[in-house]
Amino acid sequence: MATKTKSAPKKAAAKKQPNKGMKTKPDAAQGLRGLFENELKDIYWAEKALTKAIPKMIKNATSEELIDALTGHLSETEEQVTRIEEVFEVIEVKAQAKKCEAMAGLIKEAEEIMSETEKGVVRDAGIILAAQKVEHYEIATYGTLVSFARILGEDKIVSLLVETLDEEKEADAKLTEIAEAIINVEAAVD
């Protein structure tokens, strides 16, 4: 009976350590602050990648309204990269990009849409589709980063992140407006 008593505490201890035996990556986020910093590095990579991807969309677009919207958002994206660098500076973390697999996939999908459609309104509709997927990813990311920053007491950077979040929401709304008022209607009869 004494052996049963000794094994019971071992089982209880094992239950308290659910990750026991699981290996974590050396750069795995430790706590909310670590997760926040990792995601900041992730979106930094994403924004920098978009400064290269958006010009390709502009080159493939035919609608002046779409070209203007993408051109305006390219300028905003360049400012967003600078704003993220400012966030890193405020939290005293080196500005470092970490490949964002989600954004890499979204950019690849945009390139496929452009290569698989003829230049014209149908491709424009595809560009809007791809761009809105990007915007929705960014909206989700910045919304969460704002929440994390508030919880972490990083009041100095909340306004910087909210500014970018608002720009992403405005870009998405503008793309919806262009799609519904012009592009999708023309693509349907093309």
How many whole angstroms separate alpha carbon 110 and alpha carbon 124?
11
Q: What is the pLDDT of residues 151-163, one digit of tens each?
A: 999 999 999 999 9
* pLDDT-derived band at 26, boundaries 50, 70, 90: low
Share of the chain above pLDDT 90, in %: 81
The total of other beta-carbon atoms located within 10 Å of residue 59's CB is: 10
Over residues 29-47, the mean pLDDT reads 93
Chain centroid to CA 26: how far?
23
CATH number for the domain including 64?
1.20.1260.10
Structural domain boundaries enclosing 65: 32-189
Over residues 61-86, the mean pLDDT reads 98
Domain count, the chain: 1
Determine, yes or no, domain membership for 36.
yes
Over residues 63-79, the mean pLDDT reads 97
Determine, yes or no, domain membership for 184.
yes
Specify the pLDDT at position 11.
Answer: 46
Residue 9, pLDDT above cutoff 70: no
